[in-house]
Structure 1
Amino acid sequence: MLDVKPLRHTHHVAHHSAKPPAIPIKTLEDERQVLRDMLSDAYDPIEIQPGDMLSYYLPGLQNRIVRKLRSGHYRIASELDLHGLSARDAKVQLLQFLHDAHPGHGECVRIIHGKGNRSNHKGPVIKTKINHWLRQHERILAFHSARPVDGGTGAIYVLLRR
């Protein structure tokens, strides 16, 4: 065995880099969706009175669309009535409503929140929270208080993303 020489291994594959860690993409998407759906209840200290109009528009939205929404010229695809509910129940129903509103049925909906006339001295609860919640939701392009014939300052027109 003195003449024996070790063979050279020429067909080896060298793995220089370690495998990247697995990324749970679906889990991350689900967590982001939960965060989007969990609207914050910490709202601005702006006091809203029962007769105040609510209005919000994403920056860059065309003036024509804003005027059309404000004047109530969009066809109302569906409606949600929240007045008389607790804030917790209103939030649950609002999130479900916005989740279920399909673009094929139209992009404008009406939400009746009530004026808050029966609320205590702190002012309208649901109206104030709706104003804050809708500003945080990703599907909302704009909202504006409804015309008097559609509920006035106790309801809003909401323009959803298609």
Structure 2
Amino acid sequence: MIEFNDDAVGHDDVFNVRKAGVTMNQMRRLKQSKNHLCIDLHGLSCKEAESELEQQIHSGPSVLKIIHGKGYHSHDPIPKLKNMVFHLLHSHPKVIAFCSAKTNDGGSGVTYALIKKG
């Protein structure tokens, strides 16, 4: 399971991460994509959500829309699902880019991820 460190992300923090070789044009297309698999992690424990996210990354879609929420309803000051998603995507070798959704599509409570094919 993903362990958190001092690099925890906050409720309203936005993501815009791309690994080497990913162009700004690819990032722009990722943010504008409407052709993606959507997974909703609301109501899952961090362990369940991590397992579901890993399964979807390995199942082969090129773009994932991950609904994790901002964490305002958490009993913890750190949004656990949002942090788990950030750290998993950041360290996963198949994830080549990810960013927060547009405001009208969930903003910082939703993340789009670009998955490397193959």
TM-score normalised by length of structure 1 = 0.66
Please give the alpha-carbon distance, in whole angstroms, between the structure 1 residues aligned to 2:84 and 2:16: 13
Among 69, 72, 87, the alignment partner of 1:117 is 72
Among 45, 48, 52, the alignment partner of 1:86 is 45
How far off its partner does 1:78 sit? 0.7
Highest relative contact order (Cα 8 Å, sep 6+), 1 or 2? 2
Higher CA-based Rg: 1
- Percent of aligned positions with the same letter in both sequences? 31
CA RMSD of aligned residues (A): 1.6
| Residue in 2 that maps onto 1:130 | 85
User: Larger % of strand: which?
Assistant: 2
Aligned letter for 1:61? V
TM-score normalised by length of structure 2 = 0.88
Aligned letter for 2:48? D
- Matched residue count: 117
Please give the alpha-carbon distance, in whole angstroms, between the structure 2 residues aligned to 1:63 and 1:159: 13
Q: Can you list the C-alpha shifts for 1:85-131, whole angstroms capped at 9, x where unaligned?
A: 111110111111112234xxxx2220001110011343200001110
Q: Retained in 2: the 8 A contact 1:145–1:153?
A: yes
Q: How has the CA–CA distance of structure 1 residues 77 and 68 changed in structure 2, closer, same or farther, with 3 Å as cutoff?
A: closer
Unaligned 5+ segments in structure 1 are: 1-39
Among 106, 111, 116, the alignment partner of 1:156 is 111
Task: Pick which of 57-66 and 87-96 moved more.
Answer: 57-66
Unaligned 5+ segments in structure 2 are: none
